Amino acid sequence: MEIKVIGSGYVGSTLAASLADLGHLVTAIDIDEDVVAAINDGRAPIHEPGLDELIAEHAGTTLRATTTYDSVADADVTFLAIQTPAREDGSIDTGVLEAAAEMTGEALANSGDHHLVVAKSTVVPPALADVRAALRRGLGEDLATDDTGLVAFGTNPEFLREGTAVEDFTHPDKLVVGTDVDWAHERLEAVFEPLLERHDAPVVRTDPETAMMIKYANNAFLAAKVSLINDLGNVCKEFSLDAYEVADAIGLDHRISEHFLRSGLGWGGSCFPKDTAALIAAAQEAGYDPAMLTAAVEVNDRQPERLLDILASHVDLEGARIAVLGLAFKPGTDDVRHSRAIPVIEGLLDRGADVVAYDPVATDNMRERFPDIEYAGSAAEALSGADGAAVVTGWDEFRALDAEFDAMTSPVVVDGRRIVEPTDELIYEGLTW
Ligand X SMILES: NC(=O)c1ccc[n+]([C@@H]2O[C@H](COP(=O)([O-])OP(=O)(O)OC[C@H]3O[C@@H](n4cnc5c(N)ncnc54)[C@H](O)[C@@H]3O)[C@@H](O)[C@H]2O)c1
- List, as residue ranges, the binding site: 30, 84, 122, 159-162, 215, 260-264, 268, 274, 330, 337
CA distance linking residue 321 with residue 5, whole number of Å: 46
**CB nearer ligand UPG, residue 78 or residue 84:** 84
Q: Which stretch binds ligand UPG (CB under 6 A): 27-35, 173-181, 186-194, 262-270?
A: 262-270
The entry of ligand UPG, ligand X, none that residue 222 binds, CB within 5 to 8 Å by partner kind: ligand UPG
Residues of span 219-238 touching ligand UPG by CB under 6 A: 219, 222, 226
Q: Pick from ligand X, ligand UPG, none: which does 7 bind, CB < 5 to 8 A by kind? A: ligand X
Query: Which residues, 6+ apart, have CB-to-CB distance to 268 below 8 Å?
Result: 329, 330, 337, 338, 339, 340, 341, 342
Q: Which is nearer to ligand UPG, 179 or 263 (CB)?
A: 263
Q: Which residues contact 254 (CB under 8 A, 6 or more apart)?
A: none
Q: What residue number has its CB nearest to ligand X?
A: 9
271 is catalytic: yes
Yes or no: say if 213 and 125 are a contact pair by the CB < 8 Å rule: yes
How far apart, in whole angstroms, are the C-alpha atoms of residue 198 and residue 18? 13
Taking the complex as a whole, the smallest distance from the CB of residue 271 to ligand UPG amounts, in Å, to 3
98 binds ligand X (CB under 6 A): no
266 or 347: CB nearest ligand X = 266
Q: Which does 183 bind (CB under 5 to 8 A by kind): ligand X, ligand UPG, none?
A: none
Q: Which stretch binds ligand X (CB under 6 A): 58-66, 116-124, 289-297, 351-359?
A: 116-124
Which member of 271, 383, 386, 401 is catalytic?
Answer: 271
Q: Which is nearer to ligand UPG, 4 or 262 (CB)?
A: 262
Contacts to ligand X from residues 7-36, by CB under 6 A: 7-12, 29-32, 35
The site string for ligand UPG over 66-105 (x = CB under 6 A, - otherwise) reads: ----------------------------------------
Residues 143-182 that bind ligand X (CB under 6 A): 158, 160, 162
**Which one of ligand X, ligand UPG, none is in contact with 12 (Cβ closer than 5 to 8 A by kind)?**
ligand X
- Using the rule CB under 6 A, give the single segment among 51-59, 137-145, 158-166, 310-318 that binds ligand UPG: 158-166
Binding site for NAD(+): which residues?
A: 30, 84, 122, 162, 274, 337
Residues near 432 by Cβ (< 8 Å), separated by ≥ 6? 230, 233, 234, 236, 237, 243, 244, 263, 264
Residue 261, interface with ligand UPG (CB under 6 A)? Answer: yes
For the window 182-221, what string marks contact with ligand UPG as x by the rule CB under 6 A?
-------------------------------------x--
Q: What are phi and psi of 269, to 5 degrees?
A: 100, 180
Q: From the list ligand UPG, ligand X, none, which binds 214 (C-beta under 5 to 8 Å, kind-based)?
A: none
By CB under 6 A, the residues from 229 to 288 that bind ligand X are: 270-271
CB of 85 to ligand X, least distance (A): 8
- Tell me if 94 contacts ligand X by CB under 6 A: no
Provide the annotated binding site for substrate: 159-162, 215, 260-264, 268, 330
Instruction: Please state at what angle helix 291-314 crosses helix 208-238, rounded to 10 degrees.
Output: 40
The size of the interface with ligand UPG (CB under 6 A), counted in residues, is 22
Q: How far apart are CA 374 and CA 355, in angstroms?
A: 6
- Binds ligand UPG (CB under 6 A): choice among 1, 40, 141, 159: 159
Active site residues: 271
Contacting residues toward ligand UPG, per CB under 6 A: 122, 158-162, 219, 222, 226, 260-262, 264, 266-269, 271-272, 275, 329-330
Contacting residues toward ligand X, per CB under 6 A: 6-12, 29-32, 35, 81-84, 96, 99-100, 103, 120-122, 158, 160, 162, 270-271
